[in-house]
C-alpha cells in the first residue's frame, strides 16, 4: 500500500484534508457529506456559521426545523438535521459538548459509541475519528472501493471492515498518513476513476501499473 500512497502523493501533492476549521466542524461535515458533493456541504456549513450555530451548545438548542432549513443545500436536509441532532445530543450527554474531552477516550470505545448514534455509519464514524479526533482508523468510501475493485485488488463485494483491515494491516498506524492516503484516493476517484466515464488512460495508476 505504501508504494501506491507515494505514487499518488507524487502525482497530486499533499491534499491537506479535512477542509474544516476545528474538530466540531469536521463532525458536522462528516454527516452533511453523506450522499452529496462537498461544495454543497460548504454552502450548508456557511449557513450555520452565518447564524452562529456551528457549535454543540447552539446546535443542541436549535429547533430541528430551523437546522434543516440551514443545511438545505446539503440535500436530504430533514434526515441530516435529525442525524446532527442525534450526534450533538450524544456529544452533550457524554462529553458536555467538549470535543477535546471526547478525544481523550480510547479510539475503540469512541467507535463503538459513535456507531450506536442514530444515522452514524462506519464511514461517518471513521471520518470523525480520523479527522476530528486524530484516531488512526482508515476511512473507506465509494472511491476507495471502486479504485481497488478496478485494480483487481478486491472483488468489490467485501464488507467495509474487510477493506479497512486490508489497509490497516499493511500501513503503520499513523494518523497523518491515513488522512493523506484517504484524501489522495478521493482525488484519484474524482479526477480519473469516475463511476460512469473513467479516464483510465490518463490515470496515474494506469500509466504506472495498468488497470484491472
Contact 130, 182 (CB under 8 A): yes
Structure confidence at residue 20 as a pLDDT band (50, 70, 90): confident
Find the mean pLDDT for residues 184-212: 86
Find the mean pLDDT for residues 120-136: 97
The per-residue pLDDT for range 25-36, each reduced to its tens digit, is 999 999 999 999
Domain-by-domain residue ranges, the chain?
Answer: 2-15+138-209, 23-132
> Looking at the chain, how many residues does it have?
212
Find the mean pLDDT for residues 56-79: 97
The grid coordinates of residue 184 equal 489522495
Q: Give the C-alpha distances (Å, rounded to integers) separating 155 from 20, 136, 196.
A: 34, 25, 18
Tell me, what DSSP letter sits at residue 129?
I
Name the region of 22 (left: φ>0; alpha: ψ -120 to 50; beta: rest). Answer: left
Find the mean pLDDT for residues 116-145: 97
HSE toward the beta carbon, residue 52, CA cutoff 13 A: 0
Find the mean pLDDT for residues 60-68: 97
Residue of 176, 184, 82 lying closest to 141 (CA atoms): 184
Q: Would you say residue 167 has pLDDT above 60? A: yes
The lowest-confidence range among 57-61, 125-129, 153-157, 163-167 is 153-157
Find the mean pLDDT for residues 153-182: 96
The CATH architecture annotation of domain 23-132 reads Orthogonal Bundle (1.10)
Q: What is the mean pLDDT of the chain?
A: 95
pLDDT at 27: 97
Find the mean pLDDT for residues 99-120: 97
The CATH architecture annotation of domain 2-15+138-209 reads Orthogonal Bundle (1.10)
Q: Would you say residue 92 has pLDDT above 60? A: yes
Find the mean pLDDT for residues 134-161: 95
pLDDT at 208: 66
Q: Count Cβ atoms within 10 A of the Cβ of residue 148 and give its class: 0-12 exposed, 13-18 middle, 19 or more buried.
A: buried
Amino acid at each position: 500500500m505504501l508504494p501506491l500512497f507515494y505514487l499518488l502523493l507524487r502525482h497530486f501533492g499533499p491534499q491537506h484534508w479535512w477542509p474544516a476549521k476545528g474538530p466540531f466542524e469536521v463532525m458536522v461535515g462528516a454527516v452533511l457529506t453523506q450522499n452529496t458533493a462537498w461544495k454543497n456541504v460548504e454552502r450548508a456549513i456557511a449557513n450555520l456559521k452565518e447564524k452562529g450555530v456551528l457549535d454543540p451548545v447552539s446546535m443542541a438548542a436549535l429547533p430541528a426545523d430551523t437546522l434543516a432549513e440551514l443545511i438545505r443545500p446539503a440535500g436530504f436536509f430533514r434526515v441530516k438535521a435529525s442525524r446532527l441532532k442525534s450526534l450533538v445530543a450524544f456529544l452533550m450527554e457524554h462529553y458536555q459538548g467538549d470535543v477535546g474531552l471526547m478525544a481523550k477516550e480510547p479510539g475503540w470505545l469512541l467507535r463503538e459509541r459513535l456507531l450506536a448514534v442514530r444515522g452514524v455509519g462506519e464511514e461517518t464514524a471513521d471520518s470523525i475519528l480520523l479527522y476530528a479526533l486524530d484516531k488512526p482508523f482508515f476511512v473507506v468510501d465509494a472511491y476507495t472501493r471502486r479504485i481497488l475493485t478496478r485494480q483487481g485488488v478486491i472483488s468489490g463485494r467485501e464488507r467495509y471492515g474487510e477493506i479497512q483491515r486490508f489497509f490497516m494491516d499493511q500501513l503503520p498506524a499513523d494518523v497523518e498518513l491515513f488522512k493523506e492516503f484517504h484524501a489522495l484516493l478521493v482525488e484519484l476517484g474524482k479526477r480519473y476513476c469516475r463511476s460512469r466515464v473513467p479516464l483510465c488512460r490518463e490515470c496515474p495508476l494506469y500509466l504506472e501499473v495498468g488497470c484491472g
